Structure 1
Amino acid sequence: MRVVVLGTGMIGTTVVCELAKFPEIAAVTAVDVNESSVEKCVEIANNQKVYGKQASLETIEDIQNVLKDADIAVACLPHSLSPLAIEAAISEKCHLVDLVGSKYEEKVKLDQKAKEAGVVIVPGCGVAPGITNFLAAQGIEMLDEADEAVMTCGGIPRFPQPPLWYQVVFRLESVLGLYTRPALAAENGELVELPALSGLEKMSFPEPVGMCEAVITDAHSTAYTLKDKVKRLYEKTVRYEGHWERMKFLSQLGFFDDEPIDINGTQIRPRAFSEKILAPKLQGKTKEDITVLRVEVNGRKSGVQTKYTWEMVDFYDYERNITSMAKTTAIPAMLLANWIAEGKITEKGIVSVEELIIKDRFAPFMEQLGELGINIRFKEEVLV
């Protein structure tokens, strides 16, 4: 199988390096607009099966050109390019695993086209959305009647620094959306939109993390695919204590608004201005980061109120020399791409990861995640 990886940042490079190790993969082409990034990716991979290609990825036609003759693609691209990558993959009859989970309702409209092309397109296959999705789906599947599923995840610094107690481990543009965008959730079989930064909750994780807090953020595809299987479903994003309050204050003052304002005759978007101001304040003391994850599903099993909990605390990966967020985002996507190559995934169309990695596929996928360094603990409780 021939694979194309779109984007050669830290996540894309990790996908390239790991995929090339599998015998089912004949060749991996790493593609990016930045030639030096491509060269660095190929150098890090140090594998004869890996090739580099510098190319524009700004249009459907651009992406079509690099997907010609490819069997599978993994998209590690900005949110704005995700729909283009999906359309290009369908037109070139190329399977696609996409890290971006936003605008699921728009992507699923292409389901029939993907089926006709004979390909599977999997949106939102990273850590969150991604791992959190299929953990929630499996928990619901294990119960006779599910009451609530809460998917909690966050990338946080190993050594948090004031005043924001956070460091950016991926695109700042994506992070700022959390402070302004309404959150999609599911309640009683219906889709609901909740205000940005709502549902503030304190929670703790094992040391060295300690006390944190979380707010409700977008549940992506699970709001659509699981809403009829559980009474309440939410996703929450974790930060250290105090972070959300500070960012909510800035949001209320208009610092994250997109509407341009006039400053001495110059039109400036407050959000763009804030990005420039905040970027240096969101650099950590070191490059070390932590990814925390907790998925809790409760309901009835054999007439008994039962709760299933999956939890992960993952650290910077010094063996691979990548952030925890890059590792936990890249490896699920890479592994699913290899499962497609192995013929373990036979579905066609636009299919969410929570529809794929459940039941008989769940345990083998979790086992392989563990072998690749993503260790998630499971606990079952009877609630009185």
Structure 2
Amino acid sequence: MKVAIVGAGLIGHTIAHMLRETGDYEVVAFDRDPQALAKLSAQGIPTERIDSADANALQNAVQGFDALVNALPYYLAVNVAAAAKAAGVHYFDLTEDVRATNAIRSLADGATHAFMPQCGLAPGFIGIAAHELANRFSEIREVKMRVGALPEFPTNALKYNLTWSVDGLINEYCQPCEAIRDGRTQWVQPLEGLEHFSLDGIEYEAFNTSGGLGTLCETLSGRVESLDYKSVRYPGHRALIQFLLEELRLASDRDTLKSIMRRSVPSTAQDVVLIFVTVTGMRDGQLVQDVFTRKIFAKTVYGVPMSAIQITTAGAMCAVLDLFREKKLPQSGFVRQEQVSLADFLGNRFGKLYDGASTLYEGATTLKAVEAA
């Protein structure tokens, strides 16, 4: 399968490496940053410099490929998807942006190729897991989805390190969030809905952020009383972010906020991804609750040290692409994450990165997995 990866940043680089190492994919990376492309070239991965904002140039560049994987920031998603449609190639991305996803859905109407956005961790895997749990109930009362990409060793006041796109992070802190309350889909405000919980003896907070539900509100509409998604952080993070966005009015000056974050908040490869899903409802005449949790730590994959967010985000994209290649997913039109079987995902060679049983690992496995069904 010939795959064009547009965007050679951290996640795009990881996807290219993972796919190439299987021997089942012919990969070419596209970006306008020569330094990013040079890193991939040094690993023997073919690259091509292109202005990814130029839809016509991108359309011409990806002619003849089977699929396009978009690893660019959310605000370029629609432009890249339009180029994929014009070139007649299947489209996959990692966007968390609700408006971009809706626009891509419109592009997919009547398309002979597949359009599958939101193929990362959240949205992405979290929706696959939540949908699987929800389907075990005859009546669904409540679905709670919680995900955090956190430093394993927090040291600054934010108790946070940059582990992925700053653009995406700020966008999910600023945009309205979908939720279902009393059986009705509605919009709730980001940073609201603060709650606290503990897991494995560690205290966390969680609050509303945008995009993590993907298309699950629509899929479960009429079947669930309450459904929401919240990002997990260490206690105190949300108050400081709220100060920056509201008190200092940086929500309306995102460029300044991005500059501050990049200058002041270090990145880390020593991170942990926390996944926590609870579903409550009726089964066989009894009120029961199912819980699905994962803690995924940084480790070595295919001989390369990777952060937990690299593993989970790139791993999810590669797993979905693998399932698509195996024709276990629809081959045309708009494809939702919840159309992916959790069993198929976790049984996939890349999906096993979420489960701790993969031969891709080198060295000791530190992932802890608990599933109550």
Residue of structure 1 in register with 2:40 after alignment: 41
State the distance in 2 between where 1:173 and 1:112 align: 28
Q: Within the alignment, does 1:374 sit opposite 2:354 as a pair?
A: yes
Could you list the runs of 4 or more consecutive aligned residues of structure 1 that deviate by over 6 angstroms after TM superposition?
Answer: none
Instruction: State the aligned residue count.
Output: 354
Summarize deviations over 1:171-201 as a string: whole Å, max 9, x none: 2222223333221112344321112211101
After TM superposition, give the deviation of residue 340 of structure 1 in Å. 1.9
Alignment of 1:275-314 (within 5 A): 275-283=258-266, 286-314=268-296
SS of equivalent to 1:109: helix
Summarize deviations over 1:203-240 as a string: whole Å, max 9, x none: 12226xx1110002223322222223322111110111
Structure 1: give runs of 5+ residues left out of the alignment: 259-269
Residue of structure 2 in register with 1:52 after alignment: 47
Superposed CA RMSD = 2.0
State the distance in 1 between where 2:255 and 2:24 align: 44
State the distance in 1 between where 2:54 and 2:278 align: 40
After TM superposition, give the deviation of residue 369 of structure 1 in Å. 5.8
After TM superposition, give the deviation of residue 249 of structure 1 in Å. 2.2
Alignment of 1:205-284 (within 5 A): 205-206=199-200, 210-218=202-210, 219-258=213-252, 270-283=253-266
SS of equivalent to 1:5: strand
Out of 106, 121, 125, the position equivalent to 1:127 is: 121
CA gap 1:188/1:60 in 2 versus in 1, 3 angstroms? farther
State the distance in 2 between where 1:229 and 1:85 align: 34
SS of equivalent to 2:226: strand
Residue of structure 2 in register with 1:364 after alignment: 344
Residue of structure 1 in register with 2:198 after alignment: 204
Superposition TM-score, scaled by structure 2 size = 0.89
SS of equivalent to 1:333: helix
Q: Check the 8 A contact 1:90/1:113 in 2, yes or no.
A: no
Q: Check the 8 A contact 1:60/1:85 in 2, yes or no.
A: yes
Q: Check the 8 A contact 2:173/2:209 in 1, yes or no.
A: no
One-letter amino acid of the counterpart of residue 226, structure 2 = R
State the distance in 2 between where 1:120 and 1:140 align: 26
Q: Within the alignment, does 1:331 sit opposite 2:325 as a pair?
A: no
Q: Check the 8 A contact 2:324/2:331 in 1, yes or no.
A: no
Residue of structure 2 in register with 1:169 after alignment: 163
Q: Check the 8 A contact 2:114/2:335 in 1, yes or no.
A: yes
Summarize deviations over 1:63-97 as a string: whole Å, max 9, x none: 21221000012111100111112111122221111
CA gap 1:371/1:330 in 2 versus in 1, 3 angstroms? closer
Using the TM superposition, name which of 237-246 and 319-328 deviates more: 319-328
Superposition TM-score, scaled by structure 1 size = 0.86
State the distance in 1 between where 2:314 and 2:19 align: 10
Summarize deviations over 1:281-328 as a string: whole Å, max 9, x none: 3215x5311111111111111111121211111112244222111110
Q: Check the 8 A contact 1:89/1:96 in 2, yes or no.
A: yes
Q: Within the alignment, does 1:351 sit opposite 2:344 as a pair?
A: no
Q: Check the 8 A contact 1:19/1:338 in 2, yes or no.
A: no
Residue of structure 1 in register with 2:84 after alignment: 89
State the distance in 2 between where 1:69 and 1:92 align: 8
One-letter amino acid of the counterpart of residue 63, structure 2 = K
Using the TM superposition, name which of 146-155 and 179-188 deviates more: 179-188
State the distance in 1 between where 2:314 and 2:41 align: 16
Using the TM superposition, name which of 150-159 and 13-22 deviates more: 13-22
CA gap 1:171/1:23 in 2 versus in 1, 3 angstroms? closer
Using the TM superposition, name which of 365-374 and 142-151 deviates more: 365-374
Q: Check the 8 A contact 2:5/2:12 in 1, yes or no.
A: yes
Q: Within the alignment, does 1:77 sit opposite 2:72 as a pair?
A: yes
Q: Identity across aligned pairs (percent)?
A: 24
State the distance in 2 between where 1:148 and 1:294 align: 14
State the distance in 2 between where 1:105 and 1:333 align: 19
SS of equivalent to 2:174: coil
SS of equivalent to 2:353: coil
SS of equivalent to 1:139: helix
Residue of structure 2 in register with 1:2 after alignment: 2
